[in-house]
Amino acid sequence: MTWRPTALNVSFLTVVGWALFLAVLTGRVELAVAAVPLVCALVAGRRSGAPSACRIDRELSTTRLLEDECVTVTVTLHAERRLPLVELLEPLPPRVGLERGSPHAFFSLPAGRETRWTFELRGTGRQHLRLEGPHLRIWGPLGLAAAESQHRAPATVAVYPRHAPVRHPPRPLRTQTFVGNYVSPTQGEGIEPGDIRPFAPGDQVRHVNWRATLKLGTLHVTQHHRERNADVVLLLDTLSEVGPEGETVVDLAARGAAALATTYLARKDRVGLIEYGGQPRWVRPGAGRAHLERLLDTLLSASVVFTYVNRDLDLVPPRILPPQALVVALSPLLDRRFVRAATDLAARGFDLVVIAVSPVRAARAAVPRSAVADVAARLWALERRAELDEYRRRGLSIVEWDGVEPLDAALAALGRRWRRRVLAG
Amino acid sequence: MMRLAALVLLAVLAALALSVRPSAPPVAWLATVALVVGGVGVIAWSVPLVTAAGSLVLIAYALALVVAGPAAEPLTAIALGSTLVLLLALVHFAGRVRGAVLGPSVVAAQARQWLAVVGWGAVAALVLTQAAALLAGALRSASLPMAVIAAALGAVLTVAGVIALVAREARGGPTS
């Protein structure tokens, strides 16, 4: 870190030059005298040698947060020698909002003292928020010299997609063997009462249905349905993207996927994720909190990768996409390859629900408002409605979601009975 | 608050220029233009505009001195130079800290520093003026062209010296 003269020197020299030039021109000594304080300031503002040393520590309140949540950045500045004026600036990456304070600060510190400076940042989009470290500038007297350096302390905050709770997610048609929240058609240990049958040796006394026994004259027991879990695979379409940065259809789909993953995992289901795009990635179905974090990490980095290589879902191993699983596809349905893959899954008997993330609103937000754009958006919405009807006729269970209304409201349109009829047909 | 202080300093500058010959129309016009340019500079926290205003004030002051032709009066000149130093430093500082968090006692520490530098400059100007007055007695017999040439040479050497002092440490260009 070395001292450098600032542009203010040019201003001082300009005024000194004018004063001396006019003094010579007019022959008046007052003008030369007026230049003396300016020259003295230039001499006083000159700095050489190494500037005062100081120590900077930076702390983040968290390294993981959801969209629209805040992280507090605390910078501690310790002056080993006197610092008349020190400037700190933390450059903010794009898609970060400043909630409180300022990333730019000035301090004046005596030797051996320290000061703290905090500001709050809000992650406004799914991202890896990277802070490189504050820039430091020590100012000389009158701002005529400055020494700059950067305190390199890169830190990353993972901003996960926000997710509202989903109260009524699509119910899976088929259950698995582990204990869960769904009432299975099979009989066994459980809470939900099922059929009544005559007592057989080995039956427990607590299962005896005394009312039926008295009515029929022989011992009868109540059978119960088992509570089972299900496998759910979230299929995220990253083949195409529309919308402004941070609010693209992929961002909206990632939010929906995060909400569904949280909901299903809370119901003891096993949840997997397939990112179907230029570079397919997947997470094997699993359960538990650690698995939720794994899913959120994958959703965090989901993005459109352009490639000429055309891959389909056949390359996905069966353990990633179990045949009994409920597949929830989140897609804008803009790319024919994804529509083909979804139709293929439905034809192969997969329990499939497609959440069609509307690209119309996202695209509308990316272009300036105009009458032509409004008409185009309405026409596109009509065309899209006809297209979705066509897909429904092909046997796909589709709900449309604009990404703004709660996912629960969109899923309410998905009647269980209607889904059964469609699958049976 | 800083904007108000800068406007006050600008008004003081114009008043100092006008105090020599307030009735001369060209001086008043120049001072008015300097006030307008400086006012815009202060509102926008623009150091170049304030520098232009300072230069205009100096021209107005020189014009007033030529028109009025009063006896040499160094105190007004020292006040003018000191106010220019304060104004430029204040506008530069205020432009830098705009929108930033200011720690406790930053403004007070800066003000103390500026006043110390300005005080040192005023004392230096007074000492130089007294020394020049003593020297003038000794050089009373020297002819006018000789004195003018010597003064011009001194001025050029002063400017060159200051530029050399400032630029010696910096080879990579000035910092904004």
Tokens matching residue A259: 């909400």
Residue percentage of chain A with pLDDT more than 90: 28
- The answer on pLDDT for A388 being more than 70 is yes
Q: Which residues of B touch A105 (CB under 8 A)?
A: 100-103
- What is the pLDDT averaged over residues A263-267? 89
- What is the pLDDT averaged over residues A377-398? 90
Short-list A357, A352, A75, A104, CA closest to A237: A357
Q: Provide the shortest C-alpha distance from residue A76 to chain B (in Å).
A: 12
Q: Which residues of A touch B109 (CB under 8 A)?
A: 84-85, 108
The answer to whether A357 touches A401, Cβ cutoff 8 Å, is yes
Flag if B169 and A3 touch (Cβ within 8 Å): yes
Best-predicted range by mean pLDDT (A99-108, A300-309, B134-143): A99-108
Flag if A41 and B89 touch (Cβ within 8 Å): yes
- The answer on pLDDT for B2 being more than 80 is yes
- The answer on pLDDT for B175 being more than 70 is no
- The answer on pLDDT for A418 being more than 60 is no
Tell me the average pLDDT of chain A. Answer: 86
Residue A61, SS3?
coil
Instruction: Say how far apart CA B80 and CA B12 lie, in whole Å.
Output: 8
Burial class (CB in 10 A: 0-12, 13-18, 19+), B46: middle
- The amino acid present at A132, given as its one-letter code, is E
Instruction: Say how far apart CA B173 and CA B176 lie, in whole Å.
Output: 9
Work out the pLDDT band at B123, boundaries 50, 70, 90.
Answer: very high
- What is the pLDDT averaged over residues B10-32? 85
Tokens matching residue B76: 């007004």
- The answer on pLDDT for B81 being more than 80 is yes
- What is the pLDDT averaged over residues B44-63? 93
- Which among B55, B78, B114 is the nearest to A14, CB-wise? B55
Tell me phi and psi for residue A408, to 5 degrees: -60, -45
- What is the pLDDT averaged over residues A80-99? 87
User: CA angle, corner B147, sides to B144 and B148, nearest 5?
Assistant: 85
- What is the pLDDT averaged over residues A111-131? 88
> Is the minimum CB–CB distance between B77 and chain A shorter than 8 Å?
yes
Instruction: Say how far apart CA A95 and CA A193 lie, in whole Å.
Output: 53
> Is the minimum CB–CB distance between B170 and chain A shorter than 8 Å?
yes
Residue written as token pair 């350096």:
A149
Predicted pLDDT of residue A415: 63
Work out the pLDDT band at A413, boundaries 50, 70, 90.
Answer: confident
Tokens matching residue B35: 């006030």
Q: Pick the residue with more confidence: B7 or A313?
A: B7
The DSSP annotation for A393-407 comes to HTT-EEEEE-SSS-H
Tell me which chain B residue has its CA closest to the CA of residue A4. B170
User: CA angle, corner A182, sides to A355 and A254, nearest 5?
Assistant: 25
Residue written as token pair 């390359």:
A315
Flag if B129 and A40 touch (Cβ within 8 Å): no
Q: Provide the shortest C-alpha distance from residue A53 to chain B (in Å).
A: 18
CA distances, B32 to each of A89, A304, B56, B59 (Å)? 38, 61, 10, 12
Instruction: Say how far apart CA A22 and CA A4 lie, in whole Å.
Output: 30
Short-list B93, B122, B123, B96, CA closest to B109: B93
Work out the pLDDT band at A417, boundaries 50, 70, 90.
Answer: very low
- The answer on pLDDT for B73 being more than 90 is no
- The answer on pLDDT for B152 being more than 80 is yes
Predicted pLDDT of residue A123: 86
- Residues forming beta bridges with residue A283, ordered by sequence position: A273
Predicted pLDDT of residue A425: 40
Q: Each residue of A223-235: pLDDT tens digit?
A: 877 777 788 999 9
Work out the pLDDT band at A296, boundaries 50, 70, 90.
Answer: very high
Flag if A41 and B117 touch (Cβ within 8 Å): yes
The answer to whether A391 touches A337, Cβ cutoff 8 Å, is no
Q: Report the run of H or E that residue B12 belongs to, with start and end.
A: helix B2-20
Residue A204, SS3?
coil
Work out the pLDDT band at A372, boundaries 50, 70, 90.
Answer: very high
- What is the pLDDT averaged over residues B147-166? 81
- What is the pLDDT averaged over residues A142-170? 87
Residue A347, SS3?
helix
- The answer on pLDDT for B170 being more than 60 is no
Instruction: Say how far apart CA A371 and CA A361 lie, in whole Å.
Output: 15
Q: Report the run of H or E that residue A58 belongs to, with start and end.
A: strand A54-60
- Which among B58, B101, B175 is the nearest to A102, CB-wise? B101
Predicted pLDDT of residue A213: 92
Predicted pLDDT of residue B164: 81
Tokens matching residue A212: 């039926």
Predicted pLDDT of residue A422: 47
- The answer on pLDDT for B1 being more than 60 is yes
